[in-house]
Structure 1
Amino acid sequence: MELDISGNKLSGTIPSTLGSCISLERLHLEGNKFEGLIPESLETLRGLEELDLSENNLTGRVPEFLGRFSVLRHLNLSHNNLEGEVSRDGIFANASAFSVVGNDKLCGGIPELHLPPCSRKKPREPISFKVVIPATIAAVFISVLLCSLSIFCIRRKLPRNSNTPTPEEEQIVVSYSELIKSTNGFAAENLIGSGSFGSVYKGILSGEGRIVAIKIMNLPQKGASKSFIDECNSLRSIRHRNLLKIITACSTIDLQGNDFKGLVFEFMSNGNLDQWLHPTTEHQYRTKKLSFTQRLNICCLIFNNIAIDVASALDYLHHHCETTIVHCDLKPSNVLLDDDMTAHVGDFGLAKFLSEASKNLSINQTISAALKGSIGYIPPEYGMRGEVSVVGDIYSYGILLLEMFTGKRPTDDMFEGDLNIHKFADMAFPGNVMAIIDPSMLAEEEIYENEVNEHGIEERAIILNNDFQVNRTSNIEECLVSLMEIGISCSNKSPGKRMAMNIVVNRLQIIRDSFFRSINR
């Protein structure tokens, strides 16, 4: 969830009621005239990934609770009137993740900030404090003791199993007959996709009317049963907003006495990225053809974060899981889009736990599994007896990113001989990037401008003088060059030269924020 009211010249104090919006992930209040302290109520927003309060008139100290936000990746407090010591904990330990420039009264922090040291002189303590402080400490101690006793008593009354899931986390049990009923007998009109290991149907669970996607494994296909087990093992141990959420699984016998295995997922109403990039007919998904801003994913709107979402999912799998997971089959059709155009990476049928890939599989077995991925997205080292690794996923991501902006599949007929999509982009970089961009992307943006000018939807776009057009074209080209650079780096033939996924996420966020600022000047 995102709240962006930046650049509106709003005044007053930041509402403390924002602390009740606990599902906020991105909060942008920059470029206003807010004053006063940063509310302590924001401490409840533990899910914040981005917080930008820059270019306001805020005063007081930098809240220490910001250093305890475990998922906060971008913090901008620059150009305010903040004072006091800057923490060294959490995000404040990473100079590239936060900014406090333009606050002349700040001190301390990590050396990279080049802030003056804080004075360690302690003010003379009023005599009354000698009475107040011990009394306060005693009161706090008694309160903590009473709370601890209450919690102890409550826990003794609970069942011994402390891992009982909450109602939201408790897995739904769905029978084979319920799956038949929800899909009208796996009717063709409910078929929404198919692959080598199974087919996916749209279904409606009768109990709560919930719309779901049901993946039915094609068990006669060699490897399908193993794919089912691998996908279950992968999905049961991971949780991230950009990974497709599994609801339940069903393993039983069907009406003919054959083995049946199915997976039930959240339904993604906007299909997959491949359908948006490559409409299959004149009318199918025509309204879903991505506009310029949607394809760039850098305009800081809810619908335009596909590239960052996919990179964030891979960063989580590679660096933040208890055991590193390699997806092994990243491609546009495995990137699903929900109501808000948030991307979710799915299809973990080929996923490998890195420790298992290195300890329990021979090289031949590893290569066999990898090559069941999709031609064009498989890293070249997998075809040269290389082992599954996170840099293989990075290669696939680089190809996907290049495909998004060129509009060409890696298997396009034009790529023959030693020419591939990586070399195609690399030869155009940086001077001729605009020449290889998907023409429909830029054409649709021109249509959008004409509509805005004609109807007066946005005052900023009513008068497009020559200077604005030149600056706008320059900003667009600068963004595309930066994005192509990431795609080219990630799809490098040499695994050691590919950009790590956590760096990709940071770079994409910087590109998005820079472009957003440029179009709001």
Structure 2
Amino acid sequence: MIHGYIPTGIGNLINLTLLRLDGNYFGGTLPDVLGKLQKLVELFLHNNKFSGSIPSSLGNLTTLTSLFLDENKFEGTIPPSLGNCQNLHTLNLSRNNLTGTIPKQVLGLSSLSISLVMSHNFLIGALPFEVGNLIHLGELDLSENRLSGEIPSTLETCLSLEHLYLEGNSLEGAIPQSLEMLRSLEEIDLSRNNFSGPIPKFFSKFTSLKYLNISCNDFEGEVPSEGIFLNASEISIIGNDKLCGGVQELHLPSCSKKNPHLSRRLLLIKIIIPVTVLIISILVLLYFYPTCFVGKNSTEKALTTSFFEDWPLRISYAELLQSTNCFSENNLIGSGSFGSVYKGILPRNGAIVAVKVLNLQQQGASNSFINECNALRSIRHRNLLKIISACSSIDHEGNDFKSLIFEFMCNGSLDQWLHPKDDVQHQSKRLNFIQRLNIAIDVAYALEYLHHQCQTPIIHCDLKPSNILLDEDMTAHVGDFGLVNFLFETSNNPSKSQSLSIGLKGSIGYIPPEYAMGGQVSPLGDIYSYGILLLEMFIGKRPIDEMFKDGLSIHKFATMALQEHIMDIVDPSMFFVEDEEDANDDIEERTIMEEDPHVNNRSRIKECLISVFEIGLSCSKTSPDERMPANVVVNEINAIRDTFLQFKKENRRRTS
């Protein structure tokens, strides 16, 4: 937990041979005086918050054998002076913000024998021919950069190479035949590049090879059926649509051999006949369209395979693969209990979308998918996350694949704004008081729609900050309907409703107490979650924060502070906004927080906060019957916003 800067006085420790500061919170730039420690053998500065450029003075450390600068915030280019470290056997610069090309001097270090890792940066240009000097290197990792050009043939001299990772770049061309010399390779990852041509057959001759990933490229031709290619679990070739053959588990089309005598017959079978059938089918569908439309309404409530045909925009697995760069880690924007969400750009129209991929190995994921489809097919509201399409298919490995495609929310989730992960995010993601009120109103409107305006009332069952997404205007959209329940009126008593399923549903901290005791799922359960959410938004603490223990909950904490100490428990960041466009509002809200006996600003904002907390406490009461319904919440919190805006207007008038 050590933080701060490295003092320049460290340059006086000229006999130091080992310096380990890794895994702390050091920040700032590295002092040039580190170059004075010329007896240094090992330098470990990884996993901190160092920024700025890597000092060229590190090239003076000629006795250095290990240098770890990874997982920081270094920027600028890699100093060529590191090529002076002629005893270096391990160099790791990964997961920074480094730019520019890879210096030839660094790749010329023949002393590098263990690993050279520069992954997850922004390096550009071609891989220098000097890579051939790394004749003793065991691991080369240049993945997740912006490298281009072809793999240099000089790589063939790296005979000791066991791990080669070049994925996530823009490398192109064919794999050089000269690489057949690298028979010590155990792992190869060339995925998500622009490689083309046939898959080199020499890969099947590598007896040590245990993992090969060439997915998301432009390889073509027949897949070998020897060596590592005999085990489909050890290779990945998805996203290469021109491949054929291989073992049966790859589910690729067979490689047909051309026969000139059959070309006319194939033309007739593969083109003319299908086109004719397609035209006739379209004409028939157009003729019978009104009848089909009426028939579809009668079966709308049942989820069948036709559900996926109803979408105006049909999206295939191959298109999702391309749009998310083969579901790249760089495109990953979130993950949950039932799957992961990726940012994608649809190739057909350039639209930015969020692709939720279900992890069907997770118990309950299939039911979650069906629940979400059932809910989203029939609901539309400005404060609900808009679904664009759905995909139920088979992936390239023959496994079931299910995903939902949503409108992309550029401002992420409410959770990211309430609980920033680092200092940089904390400075950039701040919600002021009125923004929090607006988000609370948006969520209340969404619940009012689900509970009172849908033909069949819907219970969300998992309302929490990570399931509330914010668009470019900071309008809130409730998403993730994987745990949704539907309410149906009983025939004997319409006032009583029965849910489609029962059981403990939700996330810890937001689950209403009656669910934990086997109670029936109801709209008032969502109201409880909303009450906890409201308290969390204005206190700035999660309901599962470590401070809430030994019987103290966020509800009790807010109750004890409600009247006399409300200003002591609110999140102070809501009154300090950095956005230049909101500079005037920032000044006003800072003024509001100050003591002013003449206009009594503090007491007015305190009144608004007390009103908000009273709603949160009312909604999160233990007894469901004591909670206010969603339509009442909408009216109450709208009234608070109107009062606050009127107060700001009066305060602005007084200021002017």
The answer to whether TM tops 0.5 is yes
Taking structure 1 as the reference length, the TM-score comes to: 0.61
TM-score by length of 2: 0.49
Alpha-carbon distance between aligned partners in 2 of 1:458 and 1:415, rounded to the nearest angstrom: 33
1:493 maps to what in 2?
622
1:367 aligned partner: 503
Partners of 1:501 and 1:460 in 2: CA distance? 29
Of residues 407, 411, 431, the one that matches 2:544 is 411
| Displacement of 1:426 | 0.8
Q: Is the 8 A contact 1:398 1:488 kept in 2?
A: yes
| Alpha-carbon distance in structure 1 between the residues aligned to 2:312 and 2:562 | 49
Matches of 2:539 and 2:514, distance apart in 1: 24
1:467, distance to aligned residue in structure 2 (A): 5.2
Q: Does 1:514 pair with 2:643? A: yes
Residue 402 (structure 1) shift: 0.1
Deviation at 1:417, TM superposition (A): 1.9
Counterparts in 2 of 1:309-388, with a 5 A limit? 309-355=442-488, 366-368=502-504, 370=505, 373-388=506-521
Instruction: Report the Cα distance in structure 2 between the residues aligned to 1:313 and 1:212, rounded to whole angstroms.
Output: 22
Q: Does the aligned pair in 2 maintain the 1:398–1:490 contact within 8 Å?
A: yes
**SS of residue in 1 equivalent to 2:375:** helix
Q: In the superposition, relative to structure 1, how do residues 205 and 446 fare at CA in structure 2: closer, same or farther (>3 Å)? A: closer
Matching of residue 226 in structure 1 with residue 367 in structure 2: yes
Q: Give 1:471's aligned amino acid.
A: N
Q: 1:195 aligns with which of 336, 349, 367?
A: 336
In the superposition, relative to structure 1, how do residues 229 and 476 fare at CA in structure 2: closer, same or farther (>3 Å)? same
Q: Distance in 2 between matches of 1:465 and 1:416?
A: 33
- Match in the other structure for 2:413: 272
Q: 2: distance between equivalents of 1:465 and 1:273?
A: 28
Deviations 1:263-313 (A, max 9, x none): 000000000000000001122353112133323x2xxxxxxx100000000
Alpha-carbon distance change, 335 to 466 in structure 1, aligned in 2, over 3 angstroms: closer
Matched residues in 1 for 2:371 and 2:605: separation?
42
In 2 relative to 1, CA 461–257 (structure 1 residues): closer, same or farther, beyond 3 Å?
closer
| Whole-angstrom CA distance in 1 between matches of 2:335 and 2:470 | 17
Question: Is the Cα–Cα contact under 8 Å of residues 452 and 462 in structure 1 kept in the other structure?
Answer: no
- Identical columns (%): 60
Q: Match for 2:421: what amino acid?
A: T
Deviation of 1:462 (Å): 10
The 3 A distance-change label for structure 1 pair 184 and 268 is same
Whether the aligned pair in 2 keeps the contact of 1:394 and 1:491 (CA below 8 Å) is: yes
Q: Which residue of 2 aligns with 1:483?
A: 612
The AA in structure 2 aligned to 1:220 is: Q
Matches within 5 A, 1:10-89: none
Name the CA distance, whole Å, in 1 between partners of 2:476 and 2:596: 36
SS at match of 1:520: helix
Q: How far off is 1:475 after superposition?
A: 1.9
Q: Is the 8 A contact 1:197 1:221 kept in 2?
A: yes
Report if aligned partners of 1:452, 1:461 keep a CA contact under 8 Å in 2: no
* Equivalent position of 1:244 in the other structure: 385
Per-residue CA distance 1:333-369 (angstroms, 9 max, x = gap)? 00000010000000000000022996576xxx6124x
1:175 is the counterpart of 2:316: yes
Report the 3-state secondary structure (helix = DSSP H, G, I; strand = E; otherwise coil) of the residue aligned with 1:366: coil
Find the partner of 1:503 among 629, 632, 641: 632
Q: What is the deviation of 1:254?
A: 0.5
The aligned amino acid for 1:510 is: A
Task: Provide closer, same or farther for how the CA distance between residues 459 and 485 of structure 1 changes in structure 2, counting only shifts above 3 A.
Answer: closer
| Structure 1: distance between partners of 2:562 and 2:426 | 31
Q: Does the CA contact (< 8 Å) of 2:430 and 2:577 recur in 1?
A: no
Which structure is richer in relative contact order (CA contacts within 8 A, separation 6 or more)? 1
Alpha-carbon shift at residue 448 of structure 1 (Å)? 8.9
Secondary structure of the 1:293 match is helix
Shift in CA distance, 252/428, structure 1 to aligned 2, threshold 3 Å: same
For residue 303 of structure 2, what is the aligned residue in structure 1? Answer: none
SS of 2:604's equivalent? Answer: helix
Q: 1:185 aligns with which of 326, 339, 342?
A: 326
Match for residue 203 of structure 2? Answer: none
Q: Which amino acid aligns with 1:239?
A: R
The letter for the 1-side match of 2:416 is Q
Residue 342 of structure 2 aligns to a residue whose secondary structure is strand
Aligned to 2:574: 441
Q: Distance in 2 between matches of 1:276 and 1:249?
A: 28
Distance of 2:582 and 2:478 partners within structure 1: 35
Q: How many residues align?
A: 345
* SS of equivalent to 1:256: coil
Aligned equivalents of 2:594, 2:342: Cα separation in 1: 51
Identify if the C-alpha distance between structure 1 residues 345 and 175 changes in structure 2 by more than 3 Å, giving closer, same or farther: same
Larger Cα-atom Rg: 2
Alignment counterpart, residue 396 of structure 1, candidates 529, 534, 543? 529
- For the 8 Å contact 2:411–2:469, the answer to whether it is kept is yes
What is the identity, as a one-letter code, of the residue corresponding to 1:439? Answer: P
| Separation (CA, whole Å) in 1 of partners of 2:534 and 2:525 | 14
Q: Is the contact made by 1:479 and 1:511 (CA closer than 8 Å) also made in structure 2?
A: yes
